[in-house]
Structure formats: structure tokens, C-alpha cells
Amino acid sequence: VGAGDAGALLLRELNQYHTGKRQVIGFIDDDKTKIGKRMVGIKVLGSREEIIELANKYEIDEIIIAMPSVKGKNIKDIIKICKKTSCKLTILPGVYEIIEGSVSVSQLRPVDVEDLLGRDPVELDNVAVTKYLSGKTVLITGAGGSIGGEIVRQVAKMYPRKLLLVGKGENSIYEIMQDMNLEYPQLKKVPIIADVRDEERINAIMDYFKPQVVFHAAAHKHVPLMEYQPAEAVRNNILGTKVIAETAAKHKVETFVMISTDKAVNPTSVMGCTKRVAEMLVQSMNKGSSTRFVAVRFGNVLGSRGSVIPLFKKQIAKGGPVTVTDVDMKRYFMTIPEASQLVLQAGAMAKGGEVFVLDMGKPVRIYDLAKDLINLSGFVPGKDIEIKITGLRPGEKLFEELLSAEDGTEKTTHSKIFTAKIKDVDKAELQRQIVDILQITEGDAVVRKLQEIVPTYTPNRDAFKK
């Protein structure tokens, strides 16, 4: 599917190296002027409307989608048509995933949930991003996590002088170091096992390495898990941010970017509320500091550790059931590279004090996502694999929001990044409240104090108390 340059290159390689494995029967293209003509000796048989009919007529085994520069929604629509056939479905990744524009059979991969989301590739302002990262020492907390690890990979492309990979778990830092040594052997990188709450240790790290840019991705993120230990969520997400941010200001770091979440908006969970307090803290730190402090807020990230896709895949592998909390539950989704690239872009745009909101597109119904994933795995939902509704978990809500009702957004120079119009925070008062909450250890008392700090926090702990 796609009788363009990518399709032609792929056909030549298939003819040259894969003659015994794949025989190409024809092309599909929506350009009416191409239909009936030949490309590299192979005929353009018809448009997307004829895919099902042609697949049956020619007894096709496999459909390859070779349209790397086409918009996400178009790809999504074509996949839906192709899924109505019994053919194996493979796809050539998007242009931004293909290095140096080369096209190869080795890059073909099965169609995945990311393709069904229909999201367009991110267009980065590489000049602006490279400008604030090139030749700099960049520190990334939570560097072994899904988002932190991808930020490491994206920063590595921008010619930094040195990367400081900070994480609490030695295995995850070991793994990201292994990856980076393979991908960027010449780049200077330092693995650092440290807890972001350890002020003395963080201070010593910044004293020694003098980073100019900090990406703060370390956090507890599992919503139901944090309902069971509110004090721990406060210590990691609020105290951890406080230590890193204050130490960054003290060492005159140029840019500080904190990773936030849509769950910080009108929070119903301890995790979301602690991230909102961390946002407020970062926003307040901007006053009276030479460091540009910003937060970047986005929704769920496909394939990140502990997210819904890996869970569904495990459940499908075991034969089901696939568990969904509510038929109507919706979430915003984006891919890990997309979120990380936009975080870098937001850092380039930072004047200081902003909470940036990423354009997450339309929210996706989790029930539909489960059905799509079962289909992609070659099973029939409800017949081969059951979908089981389990009810809301502690701290969860049916719909996430990227803004509260009183917040508006302002456009920025990037089409996928907005600035949330958030009221200024009283820095001294916030600092006093943070000192108070850090003294509290009992869970319900922590929750009451969080409500005092964030009046829009409405705890959803009914499921927790059952």
C-alpha cells in the first residue's frame, strides 16, 4: 500500500534479496493517476477501497503499508480496512523513525497499537532544541524509567557534552547504560545511583559535575499503589522535586524541566495531587532564580512500564481475561518518543515559570484499546479472549483532564505544545505547607493536608476502604 518512493525502494530490495520469500503481486494507491500504471514492473491495482476485494481475488498472504510520510489518521483508516482481510499486516515505520531516509525490509514490523492511535509524527524545531542542549552537561533523574530513558536517548542526539544518568535502581541504570554504550559509544555518560530525596548526595553530584540542564523524571507514578502509602508519594514526588529543584537553583542550572501528568489536574488520587504540588513548587522556584523552571504535563504513554498495553499483552499471552476497569473509561495516549521529543522542545521554549500542556489528541476508550489489541494478536474479542470489567480502582477517575476548568491555554510557537494559564503561587506559604506535610506519616492525615494545599483535590478512596 503506497506506490511512492518508499514502496519502490522496498520492492527493489524484495526483488533483489527476498525473491524466494515474498512475491509482490501489486500496489495500492489512492492517486487515481497511478492506477493501472506499473512501477518497477509491478502494476498499481487500485485504491484503498479495493483492498479487500483484491486481497481475495489474488489470495494475498501479506499486506505491507509503505507510507512513511503519510499522516497518522490516514494510516489508521488504512489499517482498519486491511484488518477486514485475513492477511498478515506489516508496516514501514514513519519517516521520523527511519534513520537518514533509508528504507529497508529489515525495518518492516507488525502493525501495533501505536499505528491504530493515528497520531502524526512530531516535528521538532531541531535548531532551538540543539541550541540549549549541544555541548552541555545534562542531568536526567529517573533515567532508568520509560520516560527518563527515552529523554536520555533523545538528548543524546543533540550533541551534549556529557549525560548524567541518575536513578535509584541499579538494574535500570545498568540497562540504559548498556543501551547507550551500544548506540552512542563516543558520548560521555556517567551512571549515578542516587535517591533524589538525598539532599547531601544531590548537592555533591551537582557540585562535582555542574550540569547546565536538568530533566526531572524521577517519581512514583502508580495511582492505586500510592493510595496505600500517601506519605511515601509525598516524600518521593514532592520532597524529591524540592531537593532537585532547590539544588539546581543553588548551582545556577540554566534550564530545569519537570515531567508532570494529566492526573495533576483536579486530582482524585494521592499520586496526581503530589504531582500538582510538585508543579506548584517548580513554578514558585522560578521567582528570584536565574534558572528557567518549567513543568510539562501529558497523559498516558503507550508501552511505558506499568502502563495498560504491557498489562494487556501479558493477559492475552495467558489466554485472558483482559481486565478493564470500566466500559466508559477514557485516557489520553501518546508514544514514548513523541512525549520525550515534546519535553525537549518545551525546554527550548521555556522562559521560566510555565506549565506546558502537550496536545494529546482525542482521548481513547480503554475498552476499544483492549479489543484492538486482542484483534492485533490474532484473536476474536469475547470469543477467544474475554474482556472483564473490574470496577474503578482507588484514586482512579473515568476521564482525565489536561486542564482544570479555571485554567485556559495559550498557544505557543509549536502546534502540539500549549501553556496552561495557572495562577501564581505564594512561595513562602507553599514552602511552609511542604515542611508541615513532610512531618506527617499517617495516611489519612497526609490526604487531609494535601486537600488543604490543593483545594481542587477530591480524594477517590472509596475502593481503597472496601
Catalytic residue set:
263
Backbone phi, psi, residue 160, to 5°: -70, 165
Give 452: exposed, middle or buried? Use CB within 10 Å, 0-12, 13-18, 19+: exposed
**Mapping DSSP to helix (H, G, I), strand (E, B) and coil, where does residue 191 land?**
strand
Indicate the DSSP class of residue 416: T
Give 463: exposed, middle or buried? Use CB within 10 Å, 0-12, 13-18, 19+: middle
How far, CA to CA in Å, does 297 sit from each of 260, 405, 417? 5, 16, 10
Whether 143 contacts 149, CB under 8 Å? yes
Whether 338 contacts 119, CB under 8 Å? yes
How many other CB atoms sit within 10 Å of the CB of residue 319? 10
Whether 82 contacts 65, CB under 8 Å? yes
Whether 350 contacts 257, CB under 8 Å? yes
Whether 349 contacts 417, CB under 8 Å? yes
Whether 93 contacts 110, CB under 8 Å? no
Whether 67 contacts 1, CB under 8 Å? yes
Indicate the DSSP class of residue 98: S
Sign of CA dihedral 125, 128, 131, 136: negative
How far, CA to CA in Å, does 445 sit from each of 230, 270, 437, 450, 461? 9, 12, 9, 9, 13
Cα 188 to Cα 135: distance, rounded to the nearest angstrom: 11
Cα 216 to Cα 259: distance, rounded to the nearest angstrom: 6
Whether 328 contacts 386, CB under 8 Å? no
The amino acid at residue 38 is R
Whether 432 contacts 443, CB under 8 Å? no
How many other CB atoms sit within 10 Å of the CB of residue 415? 11
Residue 32: which residues within 8 A CB-CB, separation 6 or more? Answer: 47
